[in-house]
Structure 1
Amino acid sequence: MSLPQYLLKNVLEARARLGESPIWDSSHKLLYWVDIYNHRVHQFNPATGQNLFFDVGDVVGCIALAGANRLIMAQRDRLAFLNTQTGVVTPIMQVEADMPDNRFNDGKCDSQGRFWFGSMCTVKAQGSLYRYDPDGSLHVMETGLTISNGLGWSPDAKTFYLTDSPVQKIYAYDFDYLTGDISNRRVFVDLTGECFIPDGLVVDAEGYVWSAMYDGWCVIRYNPLGEEVLQVKLPVQRPTSCCFGGQDLKKFYITSASVGLSEEEIQKSFYSGDLFCLEMDVRGFATESK
């Protein structure tokens, strides 16, 4: 396969502590993303370069579109809605409130409007993956995770991907898009022994998986067999997540983190925490149902 042509731009000097969970709002042509530890949900307008943010009062691990002018958020130990017109946060339910070592991390909506989100724990493997359905029901989909992270679906809606960062693996599951069930977990990518870990991911329209490599200075593209086909170098040590956006879904947005870096590392990775965009010759596809 020939390498795609791309042009990397630093589109926002955000200097976020832990930028994450970029999502594209095609209706309003806006990019939403979060700064987890600063408790902020950002709204970036690529056309004007303007970036606004909402202070949501606590850790916010991930977001997804949830109707007109509304996002759903997984915060420290709860789900909540955010009104993007007023900034009002409306709690939905508490989850894992009895597990103080846990907090919620990455998440995403599937094509049926179901919100998938996972928890993480740095003490032991007690993270879980949940599915919150439009009817208000909550389902436990996976347990025994350390840091439930990057997830996504194949374009044919037959495969679901889930990352467990500390064990350095991306898993694949059989996916039933009608019922929302997952089964037959297997290792899709094994990075055991590498000096970096897989973080957020997105799947493109060709069914290839893009994974941001935390401490790896890059994003890596894998074919549907889990084979690396492309590595795109970045000017930051800790890329965290990625998504496709723009009018034709050929703009590839990448969030990054500065948290935990030493002064020496920051000098080498000066733009850590900023938002980047690659002009791609491959495109994404819409997975979210609003």
Structure 2
Amino acid sequence: MSQSSVQNVLTARARLGECPVWDAAHQQLFWVDVYNHRVHQFDPATGNDRYFDVGDLVSAIALAGNDRLLIALRDRLAFLNTQTGEIVPFYQIEFPHPNTRFNDGKCDSQGRFWIGSISEALGQAALYRYDLDGSLHVMETGLTISNGSGWSPDESTFYLTDSAQHKIYAYDFEVETGAIRDRRVLINLTDEGVEPDGLAIDKQGNLWSALWNGWCVACFNPTGQEILRVSVSVQCPTSVAFGGTDLTDLYVTSASVGLSQTEIQQGFNAGDLFRFSTHSIGMPTQPFLDSSRDL
């Protein structure tokens, strides 16, 4: 699949575009610009994009009922009403190490929210699971940039990216309890020097990963073998999500933060939103299922 098949669908010029989430009910894409404190709502049918300024770093989102998103701010979880823009925080964390914040997150099929952190100190980030009863559980430690996550179609395997380690891990997953165990390295990109970032899973169990500093999105089969690489016109694609009426379109967010003027000139679409058609069908978006807190 060539670069020409990838469309630039929104000139966003985001500093750090991240966490695209497809809303099938409204056929729209939500995504965030972390450092500009914005949650975006993009309508592919019209090309219109609007955003909510949430007043803090925002790194991850999940659907959470009618006109509501769960959003992960620097050190808080909150609900965002997409009709009024009202923000209602409901959980705050004290990270054990300074200069740590929430990073990428996603919901499992039971509606639990899995959210990682990013730390400036090596090995000081973690992966958390926020349950529907309001409890937060530490699921993994020793990470540095907890990033893209997902589940195999049969829900027997959980995947987690540590971008700083250039690796995507696989774990055994227990649906009922949300337990993970037996971590192993599924994909190791250390020799290439690129960093796997956000990821999405298709119904065949393949992993689609945005490769930071790689100018591409790579697709790996469930054994970790690379089977496809799709070039994009930006140095730092950040995350991916399947969307469209049949979940065959892959949306790609990107970043401009940290790039030199020369690098931006080489990839002047840095920070924009992209889309390309695939021969795969994506897994549907899982929402956060807590309905006890209404805006």
TM-score range, shorter chain: over 0.9
Q: Is the 8 A contact 1:7 1:280 kept in 2?
A: no
Q: Which residue of 2 aligns with 1:156?
A: 154
* 1:61-100 correspondence runs (5 A): 61-97=59-95, 99-100=97-98
> Do the aligned partners of 1:4 and 1:281 also contact (CA within 8 Å) in 2?
no
Q: Within 5 Å, which residues of 2 pair with 1:42-191?
A: 42-97=40-95, 99-191=97-189
Secondary structure, counterpart of 1:41 in structure 2: strand
| Correspondence for 2:228 | 230
Q: Distance in 1 between matches of 2:161 and 2:167?
A: 6
Secondary structure, counterpart of 1:155 in structure 2? coil
Q: Once the two structures are superposed, what CA deviation does each residue of 1:162-220 show, in whole Å capped at 9, x if it has no partner?
A: 00001111000001111111111000101112231110001111100011000000010
What residue identity is the alignment partner of 1:114?
A: R
- Of 121-130 and 42-51, the range deviating more from structure 2: 121-130
Question: Cα gap change, 1:127/1:5 in structure 2, threshold over 3 Å: closer, same or farther?
Answer: closer
The AA in structure 1 aligned to 2:152 is S
**Does the 8 A contact of 2:27 with 2:245 survive in 1?**
yes
| 1:34 equivalenced with 2:9 (yes/no) | no
CA distance in 1, matches of 2:190, 2:97: 28
List, as ranges, runs of 4+ consecutive aligned residues in structure 1 with deviation greater than 4 Å.
Answer: 3-6
User: Once the 2 structures are TM-superposed, how far is the Cα of residue 28 of structure 1 from its aligned partner?
Assistant: 1.0
Cα distance between partner residues in 1 of 2:178 and 2:285: 14
* One-letter amino acid of the counterpart of residue 22, structure 2: W
Deviation, 1:136, is 1.3
Gaps spanning 5+ residues in structure 2: where? 290-295
In the aligned structure 1, how far is the partner of 2:84 from the partner of 2:202? 33
For the structure 1 residues 18 and 4, does the alpha-carbon distance in structure 2 shift closer, same or farther, using more than 3 Å as the test? closer
The 2-side partners of 1:252 and 1:202 are apart by 9
User: Which secondary structure does the structure 2 equivalent of 1:166 belong to?
Assistant: helix
Distance 2:71 2:96 in 1: 19
Distance 1:7 1:141 in 2: 39
Deviation string 1:14-68 (CA, Å, 9 cap, x unpaired) is 0000000000001111100000000000000000100000000100011011111
Q: Is the 8 A contact 1:7 1:278 kept in 2?
A: yes
Distance 2:96 2:163 in 1: 23
Q: 1:142 to 1:30 in 2, by over 3 A?
A: same
Aligned to 2:11: 13
**Count of aligned pairs between the two proteins:** 288
The AA in structure 2 aligned to 1:187 is V
Q: 1:5 Cα deviation (Å)?
A: 11
| TM-superposition CA deviations, 1:111-138 (whole Å, max 9, x none) | 1111000001022311010111122121
Paired residues of 1:6 and 1:280 also in contact (CA < 8 A): no
Aligned counterparts, 1:207-226, within 5 A: 207-226=205-224
Aligned residue for 1:192, secondary structure, equals coil
Q: Which moved more, 1:3-12 or 1:269-278?
A: 3-12
Query: Contact 2:60 / 2:104 at 8 angstroms: preserved in 1?
Result: yes
Distance (Å, rounded) in 2 between the aligned partners of 1:58 and 1:118: 17
TM-score using structure 1 length: 0.96
| TM-score in terms of structure 2 length | 0.95
3-state SS, counterpart of residue 35 of structure 2: helix
Runs of 5+ in structure 1 lacking a partner?
none
Q: CA-atom RMSD, angstroms?
A: 1.5
Q: Distance in 2 between matches of 1:80 and 1:253?
A: 25
* 1:232 partner amino acid: V
1:153–1:287 CA contact under 8 A, matched in 2:
no
**Given residue 114 of structure 2, which amino acid in structure 1 is its aligned partner?**
W
1:4 Cα shift?
A: 10
